[in-house]
Amino acid sequence: MEIDQDYRALSVDTLSQRLGGVDAVASRVGGEPASWGIREVGDGNLNLVFIVSGDVGSVVVKQALPYVRMVGESWPLPIYRAHFEYYALVRQAKRAPGIAPEVYYFDKPQALIVMEYLHPHRILRRKLIDGERVDQLGETIGQFCARTAFRGSELSLSSPEKKADVGLFSGNVAIPAITESLVFTDPYYGAEMNHHTPELSPVVDELRRNARLKAKVQRLLMKFTANTETMLHGDLHSGSIMATDTEVRVIDPEFSQYGPMAFDLGMAVANFLMAYFSQPAHRQESELDEYQAWILEVIEACFNHFNAEFRHLWQTERTGILFPKSLFEEQGNSADDACDALLEEIRLDALAYCGIEMHRRVLSLAHNADFEEIEDTALRAKLEARNVLMGQTLIMEPEAYSDLTALADLARAYNQQEVL
């Protein structure tokens, strides 16, 4: 992967000099570039993220590094991921307006995006760990997934536009490769970079002996890697959602690719479920039940609003080659049943992808704070075990939990179970 020879990583010291002359930045920040307040806040694993503030306002500057930040130069990773993040951000802005940060400026050779500063939004994962509620959380995420899924597919896009996009995104190999191994494969054997809570080992060992489970996961990997239904966010965990108590936004689509409609939905729900299972370590007894109940409501809302919004778009914006009106409405046949059948397929795959995400976050390389910050490893393992086993159930028999009450009951049952 060639890096443009002009590429230079930004730093707190060089940023104002390098971007001071860019009007899209300067006009929004205001004042003398030399007096800008510049903080590097990249708490993430991969990139540089700066908040730049001045008399007028603030912007976020995100730049890809030619390696994985949390590991270092020994793990190179193409900076073109910033290009795909940019492509995804502008598509999301069209397909689900108001959710992704607005893009102010894009410098391709520098792999650099200047975007809207979300404030006072906080990363959702932190809010969930802290026991905060967010209005309309499930609704917004469900709707966001439905809008991007529908409007990025040939239910809506013209075929030439969609196929050109698939061609564009096929240039991205390194990023999907991370998902393919870290999410779908590494959790199920002793891959080198894996780690898990020591006390969880008996559960992990049994999981990895489950050949039927592994076969199902690999079939879902095949659907993920050889499917271009729609443009995904690709990494819609609770660290990619920022929220106030009433507004929900989605950041960081650098793992965007064309893939199955069910993927983002499943990953988002998995992160809600992991928040759910980790709560006993973060909440007082007195608040625990109510807060966990609220998380289950978020999940239900997420699925319901996905379906409602998808159905709405199906009826009002079905302009692509798939399920054309010429075959249905114009022949006096409703296409509603076809929509419901597709939604049921999406639900089942989403539950299975959900189970896989629940596994990889405790078994593979990139864990999540919900569990990772539990210092008592015995307690952590106990909660992780519930999560792992529910994930297994969802992968093995999603049909049994497509009913949302059954799904919530399942979560409640595992939440009571003393596995370890």
Ligand X SMILES: Nc1ncnc2c1ncn2[C@@H]1O[C@H](COP(=O)(O)OP(=O)(O)OP(=O)(O)O)[C@@H](O)[C@H]1O
Cα–Cα nearest to 65, from 42, 93, 99: 42
Contact 228, 259 (CB under 8 A): yes
Question: Residue 77: how many CB atoms within 10 A of its CB?
Answer: 20
Burial class of 213 by CB neighbour count within 10 A (0 to 12, 13 to 18, 19+): buried
Q: Min. distance of Cβ 158 from its own copies in angstroms?
A: 10
Contact status: 400 vs its own copies (CB under 8 A): no
Contact status: 74 vs its own copies (CB under 8 A): no
Both structure tokens of 100: 């992704």
Whole-angstrom distance, CA of residue 227 vs CA of residue 229: 6
Of the ranges 41-49, 198-206, 264-272, 383-391, which one interacts with Mg ion (CB under 5 A)? Answer: 41-49
Contact status: 139 vs ligand X (CB under 6 A): no
Whole-angstrom distance, CA of residue 166 vs CA of residue 257: 8
Contact status: 252 vs Mg ion (CB under 5 A): yes
Q: Min. distance of Cβ 252 from Mg ion in angstroms?
A: 4
Contact status: 116 vs ligand X (CB under 6 A): yes
Contact status: 85 vs Mg ion (CB under 5 A): no
* One residue of 51, 68, 288, 338 binding its own copies per CB under 8 A: 338
Contact 305, 146 (CB under 8 A): yes
Nearer to Mg ion, 256 or 387 (CB): 256
Whole-angstrom distance, CA of residue 392 vs CA of residue 140: 27
Nearer to ligand X, 157 or 274 (CB): 274
Contact 231, 165 (CB under 8 A): yes
Contact status: 49 vs ligand X (CB under 6 A): yes
Nearer to ligand X, 176 or 398 (CB): 176
Taking every pair of C-alpha atoms in the chain, what is the biggest distance, in angstroms?
A: 67
Cα–Cα nearest to 140, from 253, 239, 243, 233: 243
Burial class of 312 by CB neighbour count within 10 A (0 to 12, 13 to 18, 19+): middle
Can you point out the beta strands (E) in 117-226?
122-123
Contact status: 330 vs its own copies (CB under 8 A): yes
Site string for its own copies, 160-189 (x = CB under 8 A): x--xx-xx--xxxx--xx--xx---x--xx
Cα–Cα nearest to 396, from 356, 342, 367: 356
Which of ligand X, Mg ion, its own copies, none binds 43 (CB below 5-8 Å, type-dependent)? ligand X
Q: Min. distance of Cβ 110 from ligand X in angstroms?
A: 16
Q: Which residues form the interface with Mg ion (CB under 5 A)?
A: 46, 252, 254
Q: Which residues form the interface with its own copies (CB under 8 A)?
A: 153-154, 159-160, 163-164, 166-167, 170-173, 176-177, 180-181, 185, 188-189, 191, 208-209, 211-212, 214-215, 218-219, 221-222, 225-230, 258, 321-324, 326-328, 330-331, 333-335, 337-338, 341-342
Q: Which residues form the interface with ligand X (CB under 6 A)?
A: 41-47, 49, 60, 62, 101, 115-118, 123, 239, 251-252, 254
